[in-house]
Amino acid sequence: MSNLSHDCTDAGGTTPGMEEVESRLEQRSKAMQGAIADDCTDAGGRAMQGAIAETNHLEELRFKVISQIAEILENQSHTQRYAASLSELNHNVHQEIISKLMAAMATIATDDSAAMIAMIPTITHIINTCTRLDRSLNLLFRQRGKQWAANEQHVQNLMFEFNQTLLELSSVLIEKDLLERQSRVLERIILSHEHISQWKEFVQEILVDFYAIFPFNFFYIAFAEENGLSLYLYYLGQCSDDIRVKARGLLSQQMLRSIGLPPDAALDIEEFNIHCGAHIKPDFDIRLISVPVPDHSPNLAGLLGVAYASENNLSAQEASVIRSILAVMVMVVGSSKVLSRTLLELEYYAVHDPLTGLHNRRQFNDILHYEIGRSERHKHEFSVLMLDLDDFKDINDSYGHPTGDTALCSIANVLLEHTRNGDLCARIGGDEFAIILTETGPKGARVVAENVGRALREMAITSAQGNRFHLTVSIGVSSYPMDGQTIDTLLEGVDAAMYKAKDMGKDGVCTFDATEARVSIRETRDNAENLREALKEGRIIPYYQSIVDCQTGELFAFETLARLKAPTGETTSAGMFIETIDKYGLARELDIAMINNSFAAKRACMDANRPEANAKIFINLSVQEIQGRGILGYAEELCQELQLPPESIVFELLERDAIGDMTNMRRFLTNLRRKGFAFALDDFGTGYNSFHYLRELHFEYVKIDGAFVRNILNSKVDYALVHNLSKLCQDLNILTVAEFVENQNIWEALKDMGINYAQGYHIGMPQPEMRRTSRP
């Protein structure tokens, strides 16, 4: 007010002119209007900035925004009071001016009428101006009043809308204690192996905890089982039969409606009563909250959904929390049932064959171990049958594996039909089966084996293409305790008996005591590993036996004979380990070892310029080498490296091995001669079609089997055979070598027959070095 009075009064206390007053009032009015707008803008800006800065805390945001809005209203009130004061001041100034002008006019009128009359128009103009100014100010203030009223309404609307928003937000927020209650329920839902395997009990544990925090009356879980719909209904508290009937009807109808089925649809109901110290009232009025399985979720063991039924009034927040817990229970219950089913399947297939349903090898071994202990305690007998299908690979190759699977399942049914409940049938391999016959001796076991064999032989199986075929089986029998008292000895015995049945022509039964020898499979395997180590350590070495010209006695060649050298220095001949070498795939390593050592020995003789350097080397090859495994290429490269003439090398194959694959044998011989090597057919005469092979294949050398040679002096048949073989080979330009020459008389007889070369103990014993032997 003082500033405005100062504006309306000059420094000398005089009143300024009307134009100046009008100008000042107009400037003040504009400034006032701008100040009000700035106050509103600044206050609104501060409110918005505060709202953005403090959005993390809703209550704090609400307080700050309301404070800012209140400040806007307060500024508006100040502006209104300021304008009223200005209006009052303007009115007072006007009155003062008019009063003074009227006094001046009175004075002038008294002193000088003419001057007074002259000033009347001017004074009248001033009065009119002041009047217009007053009207203008009033108009201005009325307009500002309207604006203030509008602003006030806007602010009130803003406060109302903001408060309404906060109320809506608070209605969906979960209170802290409600959230803690939810957490207490969820933290108890922990999946474990025990919970999964006993998922029904697990559900009841969850419901007990659920009830303690959110009390309710009923709960149900709906499933779509293989044979229809199932409803698991839980009662939380004591209730009468009438209450059960009412709840059962109400909840089952609700479930059927929820999945769109008619109310009379078949439904299996399983009820559970959970004792929680409460009583369910007869006239209950329940409020149901149900949660179905989401469409995007996988099939949770047929689970359709769960429902929570309570008489208590629930707030929106509580209903929201309960719904979220139910959603968790949907996944937990469904997952528990799926995992429970999976565990049962895993437990089943851990001991069963998935194709035939018989027990598997693991269960067979466990039961066999148990049966040994039980029979030992009670002095019982029991027997083991090992069954191997004859030529089952032909079934798969001819009709396909699906037909083979069908045949295996049919065989499993036959085994079950011919055994008792206490016996165990197992599939222990692709086409191998085993049976444990409890409290059954060798005679009873053989009867069962023959019955099974006969039933399988008579069973006709039809393939997918409509072809009918039959199967046979070779069966071995071993009994406890006479054939073995441990798992290993029993299985070794029954395995040997089964293979004996194979060797006897298949489709038969063989007991362990009928086998010719009790060969330990484990011992054979141990021997194989020892031989493998010996090959790596270079302890399988060649010994050299002289081959001489039968007519002159001159050294012609050396045959390399494998010997196993023990770490202690003793040597073992090849006959003791060659079968193990062949069985366990060590023949190639043996061939390479013999080639390396014998080639090196020949090179040493050549370097020393010894007479033995001109002798040929006969080297035995395994039958696998005619399959194109590259041994000839290896020998050729080694000859080039050591500068050995290939024509000095003769490779031998046994007759029974050489004639097994005529096509590959022709290819092998062609490749062998192309590289410059020669070939000798060993043990000639032991085959059934020896003359046929002489016609079909060409050999440089034929080594006549020693079984004929050693008896030529005592057997006319052997003499005639060897003599005629010699004549035949001479006519075919094939050189002959007689083995097992053990004395001078045999030597002389061979010489008379025209045999080309001879070897044997009479000629020379095998020795570790290439040394010339004296002529007999």
How does pLDDT run across 247-302, given as a tens digit for each residue?
888 888 877 777 677 877 778 888 888 877 777 777 767 777 777 776 645 556 56
Could you give the CA distance from residue 676 to residue 66 in angstroms, rounded to a whole number? 110
Can you tell me which residue has the tokens 């018989």? 358
Burial class (CB within 10 angstroms; exposed 0-12, middle 13-18, buried 19+) of 386: buried
* Ranges of the chain whose pLDDT falls below 50: 1-56, 296, 514-518, 688
Q: What is the pLDDT of residue 50?
A: 37
Could you give the CA distance from residue 633 to residue 242 in angstroms, rounded to a whole number? 95
- H/E run at residue 203: helix 199-213
Q: What is the pLDDT of residue 387?
A: 95
Q: What is the pLDDT of residue 454?
A: 94
Side-chain-side CA neighbours of residue 662 (13 Å): 9
What are 364's two structure tokens?
């067979």
Q: What is the pLDDT of residue 25?
A: 39
Q: What is the pLDDT of residue 105?
A: 67
Q: What is the pLDDT of residue 631?
A: 84
Predicted TM-score of the model (pTM) = 0.49
Could you give the CA distance from residue 180 to residue 563 in angstroms, rounded to a whole number? 83
Instruction: Determine contact, residues 653/679, Cβ cutoff 8 Å.
Output: yes
Report the 10 Å Cβ neighbour count for 767: 14
What are 638's two structure tokens?
């080694």
Q: What is the pLDDT of residue 383?
A: 95
- H/E run at residue 129: helix 113-172
Instruction: Determine contact, residues 358/412, Cβ cutoff 8 Å.
Output: yes
Q: What is the pLDDT of residue 75?
A: 67
**Bridge partner residues of 235 (DSSP):** 218, 273
What are 492's two structure tokens?
């070794």
Q: What is the pLDDT of residue 424?
A: 94
Q: What is the pLDDT of residue 413?
A: 94
Residue 760 DSSP code: S
Alpha helices by DSSP H, listed for 379-441, are 392-399, 401-417
- H/E run at residue 721: helix 716-731
